[in-house]
Structures are given as structure tokens and as C-alpha cells.
Chain A
Amino acid sequence: MAEIVAAFGVPHVPNFPAQVAREGPQSKVARLYAEVAGHLDAVSPDALLVFDSDHLNTFFFDNMPTFLVGVTDSIEGPNDQTPMPHYRVGGHAQLAAHVRASGLARGFDLSLSQDFSVDHSIMVPLHFLTPRMQIPIVPMFINGLCPPLPGARRCYALGEMVRAAVKEWPRNLRVAVLASGSFSLEIGGPKVPHDSIAGTPDQEWTRRVQHLLAHAQINELLEEATAARMQRAGNIGGELLNWIAMLGVIGERKPRFIEPEVEHGRCYGAWRWD
């Protein structure tokens, strides 16, 4: 039977690949990503289920899903001019279709796409974590950038549904979960600093989320991560919903590794129980 073997959370800043290429493997971002990649390699999953928020690249206001499962066996990206290599990664279409059907049977009206590319928010993490693109992914998109957003408890429940769906999958498969996103980030809105179009307006929230993650205080996190609170942390603050969905899959576990970059509004984490 299929099982959930680990979970990971990372940010996905578009500049990371170029920055790490320039600054080398001893730079902080490179080291933090290498730490997470080490945990991923150690559990060696057969498939990676990715919770991600598209940045108006894969989807737009002409067609904007709140929750969508990508059911395909091949995914290309990035599709948004991010300065990094172009990749093609396999999709685990059968598992994706099963998760979607399972969601529909359990009251989650999940949208579907069978033909799509992805932006930096998936390709930057894969560039560092699985650069050979050897692990097929199941992309699950959550609207984290275009309010109104789904609620934190709904996203957690989505994760719980995914856990149940994976357990029911009648084949041996080791599945890991990846959450992509920052906790405090403002792009192009009124909370940006002087002379810049991006900033991290809420270090306190980043600290608080990291603390709640480190101590597996899930209920507190779900209580505090209101739409208003996440928006105060920046117009990209809704990316936390991807982490919350990931927590729904694994339940109240403490991470084996978690490290914040508070000044940048983000965190890196790995959850294992092997």
C-alpha cells in the first residue's frame, strides 16, 4: 500500500538559482536547500506531492481555480522567464487522478488540468531538491495570491484528505510531500520598502509561524493564520497555506530540521519519522 514517508517545506525566490550559482555552495540559501535535499535523498520517495501557489502564470483571472490537481505525466517550466535552466519533470498522473477522485468523493471539488506548465514556484524547489528531475510529481495548486483565499482549516482538511487518499492507493508507493512558499513577502504593494518593489514586512509573523511549526502546535497555527493575518504579512503571505496543507497530510509531527531566515520572511523544514 502507498504511504506518506516525509514532508518538506521551502521558499522559492526566483533569484535563488542565479544567486547560488554566483555565491557558491557555501552561501546560506545553498546550505539550507542542501540540508533539505539531504533529508529527501535519505527517504528516497517514489513520488513527490507538491502544494504550490501559481503566480498568475499557469492560471489567470480568466480561469482561476481555488484548488486544482494537475493530472499529467509530463510538466515543463519555468514558464515565467525566471533566469534558470528549463526543465521537464514527470508527473504521476495515476496517483494524481486517484487523489482528485478521492477528493471529489470526500467533498473537495477539485479542478483539473491535464496540460499545463509551471512557474518558478515549483521549478526553483525542484532545481535544488531533485535536479535530475527523477521523481515524478503530483502538483496540487492552492490559490494563495489572489484574495479571497481558501481558509487555513480548509487547506489543512485538504491535506488530511490527501493522506487518506494516499493510504487507499492499492500499490506500493513511497510518497513525500513538498510545500512551496514564504510566510512574509510583499511584491509590488503598499508595504514594499523605499526604492524596491519587494520586501518582508512582518518578521514577527515569520518567527511565530516557525515557532508553531517547530513545536507542532497545529491548532494554534490554524487559529492564528486568518486571511487578515496572512495579508498583513504581505500580499504573498497566503503561500503559508501550502505549508498548512502539507501539515494536514502528516498530522501533528515535529520537524527533524527547521530553520528560518526571519529577515527574508521564510523557512526551510524537513519532517521525517524513519
Chain B
Amino acid sequence: MSVYAVNKLCRDAMRDPAFREALRRDPAAAITPLELTKDERSALLCGDVARLYEWGCHPFLLAYLPRWELFGLTIPLYSERIRKARDARDE
């Protein structure tokens, strides 16, 4: 698992307007050069933030994605999905 690459993608999306625009225009193409696993690539493209969270991606960084509606994530959709994630803190 290269959770690091997902975390970095989120931060780059916040900091780099050109990368953000590329993610918006063609998400699959924009993440092609990144060192992501097959599962991470697929979870990102589906906007499956619950799985990304469960794998250890930092929630503060994942929450950048709906700010610009990347990977189809609106704030209500992000909220709905992340609320269903397994929360290791409650176990």
C-alpha cells in the first residue's frame, strides 16, 4: 500500500492549481503517472474515501477532495461515505 502517494496527491491538489485542473478534466489520466497501487487508483476514481481512510490515508487531506469536487465528491457525498468507514478509534 502506498498510502503516501494518495496523501501527497491530496496535498498537491490543494497547492497546485494546474494539477487540480488536470484532476478535474481527466482524473484517470491525471493520476496515471503517480505511484499508486491498482486498488488505490480504483478507489480514487470511484471517490471511495471510506476505503482510502481505512487504508490509512489522512482524513484532513482526503477532505481537500470535495472542496473542489474532485473524483465526483461533493461535500454531502463525501460526508455520507466517510461516515460509513470503519473507525479504528471506537474499537
Contact = CB atoms under 8 A, between A and B. Distances in A.
Interface of A: 55-56, 60-62, 80-81, 145-146, 186-198, 228, 231-232, 235-236
Nearest to B75: A197
Interface residues of B, number: 28
B41 interface: no
B89 A231 contact: yes
Contacts of B24: none
B19 interface: no
Q: Which 7 interchain pairs have the tightest Cβ spacing?
A: A188-B63, A188-B59, A189-B59, A190-B87, A231-B89, A195-B76, A190-B85
Interface string B65-88: 010000000011011101111110
B62 interface: yes
Contacts of A231: 89
B78 A197 contact: yes
Interface of B: 4, 7-8, 11, 14-15, 50, 53, 58-63, 66, 75-76, 78-80, 82-87, 89-90
Given A197-B66, A232-B89, A189 B82 contact: yes
Contacts of A191: 87
Given A56-B60, A228-B89, A189 B79 contact: no
Contacts of B79: 192-197
B7 A187 contact: no
A145 B83 CA distance: 19
A197 B68 CA distance: 13
A198 B86 CA distance: 17
Contacts of A80: 14
Nearest to B88: A231
B85 to A, nearest CB: 5
A194 B87 CA distance: 16
Contacts of B80: 194
Contacts of B90: 232
A189 B75 contact: no
A61 B87 contact: no
6 contacts: A60-B7, A61-B8, A186-B59, A190-B53, A198-B63, A232-B89
Nearest to B49: A188
